[in-house]
């Protein structure tokens, strides 16, 4: 792709991966459009009427569906979005997907069969869920309570995902390829919290709780029911050991090792010291 001839749409352009991709694209001179409800020309996954105008003049799209490809109805939404994208002349789709999620794989099939170039990034849990996501407040409070035990996860750095997505959106070398993106090591959530505590020089407790106790805690914090249902799905089905293995996706895509959790933690120390 040539910078001055193609316009790239990043849906979820203010999210964990999207904002990083937008920064890389704009820094390298690519004409970039952010797909977000906060934009002057808003994009909303729940309002199909916003899609066509957002896709007008776009050559490549990064698809980051909210809240998750695993939620009921996501496949139909992706089907409709992809059809409009193709009708509007989009030439390439790059889909952010999740490991071990059959519903997400159904969405992958939609993208792969769209009749245009595609890349699928099937990612493990983001490291950034600890520093930018729903676990940050718990870490700042000094205790993380989750309904998960000794299951290990190869947490992946969102910066690595963004690097692969940037190349997929701007070059042809990742066309029609599926990458499973993981970090280079397996950690339990407790081990991840211990690593964060170590680099911060803080005491941060990890407590395993029952799913019911966790749900009650989320309700008390006024977390929306649909988000509670999604977390319930992730903790009861996806985190059952099915993803407790490492892949070489980052290395295959970028020619370098994936970022390990320790390097990620050292880079983000300030996030966990902001209220200390």
Alpha carbon distance 138, 126 (integer Å): 17
Predicted local distance difference test score (pLDDT) of residue 276: 54
What is the model's pLDDT at position 1? 46
Is the CB of residue 35 less than 8 Å from the CB of residue 43? yes
Asked whether residue 28 is assigned to any structural domain, the reply reads yes
C-alpha gyration radius of the chain: 19
Percent of the chain with pLDDT over 70: 97
The model carries a pTM of: 0.94
Q: CB under 8 Å to 140, separation ≥6 — which residues?
A: 272, 274, 275, 276
Q: Whose structure tokens read 């352009």? A: 13
The per-residue pLDDT for range 134-155, each reduced to its tens digit, is: 899 999 999 999 999 899 999 9
Residue range 15-41: average pLDDT?
95
Structural domain including 78 reads: 7-124+156-182+245-258
Residue 4 has pLDDT above 60, yes or no: no
| Spatial separation of the C-alpha atoms in residues 29 and 145, rounded to whole Å | 43
Q: What is the DSSP letter of 62?
A: E
Residue 226: the pLDDT is 83
The average confidence (pLDDT) of the chain is 94
pLDDT tens, residue by residue, 52-62: 999 999 999 99
Please give the Cα distance from 265 to 46 (Å, whole number). Answer: 35
Half-sphere exposure at residue 190, Cβ-oriented, CA atoms within 13 angstroms: 10
- Residue 103 sits in a domain whose CATH number is 3.40.50.720
Q: Is residue 228 part of a domain?
A: no
Is 55 domain-assigned? yes
10-28 mean pLDDT: 97
Q: What is the residue-wise DSSP string for 211-256?
A: HHHHHHHHHHTT--HHHHHHHHHIIIIITSSTT-S---HHHHHHSS
Is 29 within the bounds of a domain?
yes
pLDDT at 5: 62
Q: Percent of the chain, pLDDT > 90?
A: 83
Looking at the domain assignment, is residue 227 inside a domain? no
Strand boundaries in the chain, DSSP class E:
7-11, 31-35, 60-63, 92-98, 117-123, 143-146, 177-181, 205-208
CB atoms closer than 10 angstroms to residue 76:
12
Helix (H, G, I), strand (E, B) or coil at 97: strand
Cα separation, 22 vs 151, whole angstroms: 33
Looking at the structure of the chain, the number of domains it has is 1
Least confident range of 28-37, 84-93, 152-161, 236-245: 236-245
pLDDT of residue 275: 56
**Residue 90: inside a domain:** yes
Distance between CA atoms of residues 265 and 276, nearest Å: 17
189 located within any domain = no
Are the C-beta atoms of 85 and 11 separated by less than 8 Å?
Answer: no
Q: Which residues contact 212 (CB under 8 A, 6 or more apart)?
A: none
Is residue 219 one of the residues assigned to a domain? no
pLDDT band per the 50, 70, 90 thresholds, residue 2: very low
Residue 173 scores a pLDDT above 90: yes
């Amino acid at each position: 792709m040539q910078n001055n001839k193609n316009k790239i749409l990043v849906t979820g352009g203010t999210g964990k991966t999207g904002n990083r991709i937008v920064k890389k694209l704009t820094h390298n001179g690519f004409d970039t459009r952010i797909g977000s409800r906060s934009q002057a020309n808003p994009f909303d996954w729940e309002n199909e009427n916003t899609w066509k105008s957002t896709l007008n003049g776009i050559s490549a799209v990064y698809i980051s569906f909210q809240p998750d490809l695993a939620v009921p109805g996501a496949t139909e939404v992706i089907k409709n979005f992809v059809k409009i994208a193709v009708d509007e002349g989009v030439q390439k789709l790059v889909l952010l997907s999740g490991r071990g999620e059959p519903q997400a794989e159904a969405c992958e099939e939609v993208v792969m069969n769209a009749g245009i170039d595609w890349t699928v990034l099937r990612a493990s849990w983001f490291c950034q869920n600890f520093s930018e996501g729903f676990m940050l407040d718990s870490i700042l409070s000094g205790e993380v309570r989750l309904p998960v035990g000794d299951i290990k996860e190869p947490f992946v750095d969102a910066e690595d995902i963004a690097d692969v997505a940037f190349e997929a959106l701007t070059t042809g070398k990742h066309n029609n390829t599926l990458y499973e993106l993981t970090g280079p090591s397996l950690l339990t959530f407790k081990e991840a919290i211990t690593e964060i505590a170590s680099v911060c020089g803080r005491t941060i407790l990890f407590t395993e709780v029952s799913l019911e106790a966790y749900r009650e805690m989320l309700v008390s914090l006024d977390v929306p029911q649909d988000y509670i249902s999604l977390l319930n799905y992730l903790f009861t089905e996806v985190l059952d050991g099915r993803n407790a293995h490492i892949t070489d996706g980052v290395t295959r895509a970028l020619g370098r090792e994936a970022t390990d959790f320790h390097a990620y933690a050292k880079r983000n120390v300030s996030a966990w010291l902001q209220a200390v």
